Amino acid sequence: MVRAIIGANWGDEGKGKITDMLAGQSDVVVRFQGGANAGHTIITDQGKFALHLLPSGVLNENVVNVIGMGVALDIEAFFWELREVEGRCGHTPRVLISDRAQVLTEYHVALDCYEEERLGKGSFGSTKSGIAPFYSDKYAKIGLQVCQLFDKDLLRKRIQNVADQKNVLLEGLYHQPPLDPDALTEKYYALGQLLKPVTVDVAQYLHRALREGKRILLEGQLGTLRDPDNGIFPFTTSSSPLAGYGTVGAGIPPRAIEEIIAVTKAYSSCVGAGPFVTELFGEEGEELRKRGGDAGEYGAKTGRPRRVGWFDAVATRYGCMLQGATDCALTNLDVLSYLDEIKVCVGYRIDGEITRDFPVTPLVEKAEPVYETLPGWKTDIRGIRSYADLPEKCRAYVEYLEKEIEVPITYLSNGPKREEMIAR
């Protein structure tokens, strides 16, 4: 059976921790989209791990971790991260990589940086990891598949073709040095050789695993609102973070996905540009940012301060709906314990009309939040392990959110550590 863990919002919902927990009940953990452009924070007895490209199952010795064909594979980042994790986690993580995955190269990163610089203030808040140029090349059919790295002549031809196009851009638009096809061929051929021993046909591998009754966990990166088709375009990412995309980015049959767990925070947070209706500013925002997450709300990848705000039920209900969520995991509930009152956004006022449905970006940009106010519980809830032991006002808050998002909240996280979880 396949279970998916995905984000209901803008990313950084705390998926890493939930994935790490459920990885213990899985045989295989699979990444199916995105690249090293986000970060999952997992805290174990060995300390804090910020994972970017590796599936969160690497911290579990018995799990096979798979990087699917939908992922943007930065090979150097992959080996760097693998060595870092290996050095600290006390075992050798088992990782397999799709021979159809495409390679995120150094020129994708460079082009991403040059373009952000060119756009200046009008930029979309890229993490400058090369993701948008990578996916552009994939769909323009000039990307490099892992299997193509193994044949030097083929690789040289493909890279020459890339250079013919990119060098016009590099020299004409960005005024930067051109690509050197020979040097790039040598580099990526050598990296391909390093990768070869862990490369497999991922679709075959996963279909066989399913036939053998293995438990597969699909791990999404970012969240619904970053989906290029259904999110806050153009403040979106370049691959689909929807559970349904696991059928493409990992070759999983759609009917095999039985459980879809949408992760959301008990408040909202968002890194980068784009409309964010419930955003808090000034002291109120600073206080929440300082108290949020395990060490304040700062991006795991970029260190950028995250924008924070009240729980947005309009965005989250939409986020869960698009994911087809069967369950919801609510994280960071402990963070709200300091508040006298907690607001929840239950509607958007747009041009004088109130809506409960998340609209297109130009309308989200005009939306004002309509709030319900709930009483805070004002007690530290870390250390509580059963739902019944939570303060009544805290349970009322959870149940209010559940009603609003229309998905059962079956997991609650009340602290950053592995064991700080309540199952309902």
The residue among 40 and 108 lying less far from ligand GDP, judged by its C-beta, is 40
The residue among 338 and 356 lying less far from ligand GDP, judged by its C-beta, is 338
The residue among 8 and 75 lying less far from ligand GDP, judged by its C-beta, is 8
- The residues, any chain, with a CB within 8 Å of residue 106's CB and separated by 6 or more, are 184, 187
Q: How far apart are CA 222 and CA 230, in angstroms?
A: 13
Question: Of 109, 157, 117, 164, which is closest to residue 133 (Cα–Cα)?
Answer: 109
Q: How far apart are CA 203 and CA 106, in angstroms?
A: 27
What is the closest distance, in whole angstroms, from the C-beta atom of residue 367 to ligand GDP in the complex? 24
What is the closest distance, in whole angstroms, from the C-beta atom of residue 201 to ligand GDP in the complex? 29
Residue ranges binding ligand GDP (CB under 6 A) = 7, 11-17, 38-41, 43, 293-294, 300, 331-332, 334-335, 413-416
- The residues, any chain, with a CB within 8 Å of residue 83's CB and separated by 6 or more, are none
What six digits make up the tokens of 48?
Answer: 């804090």
Question: Given its phi and psi angles, is residue 220 left (phi above 0), alpha (psi -120 to 50 degrees) or beta?
Answer: beta
Q: How far apart are CA 400 and CA 379, in angstroms?
A: 19
Per annotation, catalytic residue among 12, 20, 137, 334 = 12
Bridge partners for 344 per DSSP: 311, 372
The residue among 60 and 413 lying less far from ligand GDP, judged by its C-beta, is 413
What is the closest distance, in whole angstroms, from the C-beta atom of residue 141 to ligand GDP in the complex? 31
Question: Of 215, 410, 394, which is closest to residue 320 (Cα–Cα)?
Answer: 410
Decide the pairing of beta strands 268-270 and 307-309.
antiparallel
The residue among 278 and 331 lying less far from ligand GDP, judged by its C-beta, is 331
Place of tokens 């550590």: 417
The residue among 83 and 304 lying less far from ligand GDP, judged by its C-beta, is 304
Question: Of 203, 211, 216, which is closest to residue 65 (Cα–Cα)?
Answer: 216
What is the closest distance, in whole angstroms, from the C-beta atom of residue 222 to ligand GDP in the complex? 8
40 has catalytic annotation: yes
What is the closest distance, in whole angstroms, from the C-beta atom of residue 220 to ligand GDP in the complex? 9
Q: How far is CA 153 from the centre of its chain?
A: 36
Answer whether 313's CB lies under 8 Å from 346's CB: yes
Per annotation, catalytic residue among 20, 40, 74, 312 = 40
What is the closest distance, in whole angstroms, from the C-beta atom of residue 263 to ligand GDP in the complex? 6
175 has catalytic annotation: no
Catalytic residues: 12, 40
